[in-house]
Amino acid sequence: MRYQKPKGTADILPADSHQWQYVENKAQEIFSTYDFHEIRTPIFESYDVFERSSGESSDVVSKEMYDFDDKGGRHIALRPEGTAGVVRAYVENKLFGPEQVKPYKVYYHGPMFRYERPQSGRLRQFHQIGVEAFGASSPALDVEVISMALEFLRSLKLSGLKLEINSLGDSATREKYHQALVDYLTPLADQLSEDSQRRLQTNPLRILDSKDAHDQELVANAPSIIDYLTPESQAHFAAVKAGLSGLGIDYEVDSTMVRGLDYYTDTIFEIMVKSPAFNNSEMTVIAGGRYDGLVEEFGGPAEPGIGFGIGVERLLLLLDQDQMPVQPKLDFYLAKVGDDVQVPALRILQEIRRCGFSADQDYLDRKIKGQFKSATRLDARFVITVGESELASGEVPVKDLATGEQVQVKLSDLENDFQAVYQQLMQQFGGK
RNA sequence: GCGGUAUUGGUGAAGCGGUUAACACACCGGUUUGUGGCACCGGCAUACGUGGGUUCGAUCCCCACAUACCGCCCCA
């Protein structure tokens, strides 16, 4: 095979694209009830956009960025996540201006890129659906964003959802906590796993969710970030928890939950699903949080923001295949007999399609038997047969493939008044 | 970036140094002339991921590369 798709990419063929559309449509449906509207930003941005937002030391920037120099010598990167580009657009278009209603609420969906080793549910080009809301720091917004995420997953009939929340406080909080954690772990360094000893230097917060069992024990007694929150952050977090409880939403506070990207502040959350698709282990499908410094970081006013992202590939793996829509049935298949029926056939097909039904025919000169086979393979509801004798008699047989019953309809109606034909068929065969 | 496993037709795959590259499914055609099933008959890999090497001879052995899957790092 001469050509193959680039490593870590996937072709989404029609059999799957129906499921993608289903998920995307659901997202739009649910999000719009919360008054979120779609925003489309470029899938590539200046490299600096992501370097600025994600933190220079983060792995996303240091080794996973899909970047290149374009012909004009600009350092470009394919977006590794959605938030940075949206914030850039928010600032560049001055959407923080007084003529906009706050909070400014948007959602997006599309491809993201990370130069990493592909694994199950992890590709170099993957897809996210995300939302962002700017310009309000009310904890009520946190609660609504979280509940919207849950409603979306519920609308897809996902069960076994688990919501975990944490607060990272403001940047001063994180600095103090960072120091406290290092102070606690440094004396224990020789007991840490090899990976975590390295993390102690590079990213101590990551040790909190180490997979190593002994690390877990040591971390259990580590100081908790919750104890380092400022009074304001404490109050915000308390209000978020109260709001969730008020909506009857179950949650767990996980004070060891951390983030790979540097820009998060205060509330962060993840929604996990336990699924047989992943050996009944829990898998995060939605992750999000506040990023109250990011707009300012991009040269805008000191405005707060909050959002979340959904990994679509991962989400699709979790969805029950039985509940997924399949390719829609074909309404009509037109079988032809003889040589001189092609033109009338084209006229009939056009009339059917103009009435809003799907219709197809044979293009390979197959025998009538083969045409019926094609109709069956296309899952057609009805087969219309047109041949010389029909053209002569003006009567055309229409067969219901499910029952095998066949009725005669007028050729003139087929060509000129298909609605009448359809009503006749519905009377004869009932239902839709 | 590191490690493991794999790569044969449309699909599932057998073969592991010399074969007509098995078998099954799917698909296409036919079993006389205009109807989906079944049965029967026939067709369907100048070819075994790519490039080198070893050999009289390689799908089968060796090396490199590519890709996929799994794990780590990382992330979600």
ipTM reported for the complex, 2 dp = 0.86
The verdict on A395 and A352 lying in the same domain is yes
For residue A377, which nucleotide's C1' is closest to its Cα? B36
Find the CATH number of the domain harbouring A394.
3.40.50.800
Residue whose Cα is closest to the C1' of B28 = A370
- pLDDT band of residue A151 (cuts 50, 70, 90) is very high
DSSP characters over A143-198: HHHHHHHHHHHHHTT--SEEEEEEE---HHHHHHHHHHHHHHHGGGGGGS-HHHHH
The verdict on A298 and A355 lying in the same domain is no
Q: Residue A195 CA to B73 C1' — how many Å?
A: 8
The verdict on A292 and A407 lying in the same domain is no
The verdict on A267 and A334 lying in the same domain is no
- Per-residue pLDDT of A364-405, as tens digits, reads 889 999 999 999 999 999 999 999 999 999 999 999 999 999
The verdict on A29 and A110 lying in the same domain is yes
Please say which residue of A229, A263, A279 terminates a domain. Answer: A229
- pLDDT band of residue A260 (cuts 50, 70, 90) is low
- Per-residue pLDDT of A15-43, as tens digits, reads 888 889 999 999 999 999 999 999 999 99
The verdict on A122 and A138 lying in the same domain is yes
In a domain, A260, yes or no: yes
Q: Residue A11 CA to B50 C1' — how many Å?
A: 22
For residue A393, which nucleotide's C1' is closest to its Cα? B34
Q: Residue A7 CA to B66 C1' — how many Å?
A: 9
Cβ neighbours of residue A86 under 8 Å, at least 6 residues apart?
Answer: A39, A41, A106, A108, A130, A132, A307
The verdict on A424 and A361 lying in the same domain is yes
Q: Residue A9 CA to B15 C1' — how many Å?
A: 33
In a domain, A241, yes or no: no
The verdict on A151 and A192 lying in the same domain is no
Cβ neighbours of residue A403 under 8 Å, at least 6 residues apart?
Answer: A429
In a domain, A239, yes or no: no
Residue A55 has pLDDT above 80, yes or no: no
Residue A56 has pLDDT above 60, yes or no: no
- Considering only residues A268 and A321, tell me which one the structure prediction assigns the higher pLDDT: A268
Give me the phi and psi of A208, to 5 degrees please. Answer: -60, -35
The verdict on A18 and A74 lying in the same domain is yes
The verdict on A291 and A374 lying in the same domain is no
Q: Residue A174 CA to B44 C1' — how many Å?
A: 67
The verdict on A45 and A162 lying in the same domain is yes
Q: Residue A279 CA to B15 C1' — how many Å?
A: 35
Average pLDDT, chain A: 89
In a domain, A416, yes or no: yes
Please say which residue of A291, A323, A355 terminates a domain. Answer: A323
Note down the domain range covering A200: 171-229
Interval A176-187 mean pLDDT: 89
High-pLDDT (> 70) share of chain A, %:
95
In a domain, A238, yes or no: no
Q: How far apart are CA A53 and CA A66, in angstroms?
A: 16
For residue A6, which nucleotide's C1' is closest to its Cα? B67
Q: Residue A374 CA to B40 C1' — how many Å?
A: 22
Please say which residue of A267, A299, A323 terminates a domain. Answer: A323
Domain count, chain A: 3
In sequence order, the β-bridge partners of residue A110 are A128
In a domain, A83, yes or no: yes
In a domain, A355, yes or no: yes
For residue A389, which nucleotide's C1' is closest to its Cα? B34
Find the CATH number of the domain harbouring A164.
3.30.930.10
Q: Which nucleotides of B are covered by protein (CB under 7 A)?
A: 1-3, 27-30, 34-37, 49, 66-76
Residue whose Cα is closest to the C1' of B71 = A119
